[in-house]
Amino acid sequence: MPKTKGREFWQRVIDEFEKSGQRQIAFAQKKGITLSSLQNWLYKLRNEGTKNETPLLLPANTPDSNGMMVEIVTTSGTIRFPEGTSVTYVAGLLQALRSC
């Protein structure tokens, strides 16, 4: 029976994914892992100890969007912006959220 992949394995995979710039599905296929496992570990590892970390900017293709979105994941939730949203606007919003 194969050994279950543990936290250290997934931390390395998630670090590699975040540096890759690939979509989740393409990265999972390339690594030979299931998309659901990748997504579960992304969620789990991002939500541990993220209270004082900078929010992440992630490309996201959502079912209700007409194309690519930019996704900001914070400890309070997720905010999505259409691709091409002003970086200045997003930076100002993040600054305002940090001061709340």
Asked whether residue 42 falls in the same domain as residue 57, the answer is no
Query: pLDDT, tens digit, for every residue of 49-76?
Result: 554 555 555 555 555 555 667 777 777 7
* pTM of the model as a whole: 0.47
Asked whether residue 39 falls in the same domain as residue 68, the answer is no
- pLDDT top residue among 95 and 99: 95
> In total, how many domains does the chain have?
2
Average pLDDT, the chain: 76
Residue 84 belongs to what domain range?
50-100
Give the pLDDT confidence score for residue 30 in this predicted structure.
94
Asked whether residue 30 falls in the same domain as residue 20, the answer is yes
Asked whether residue 62 falls in the same domain as residue 72, the answer is yes
The residues near 58 (Cβ < 8 Å, ≥ 6 apart) are 70, 71, 72, 73
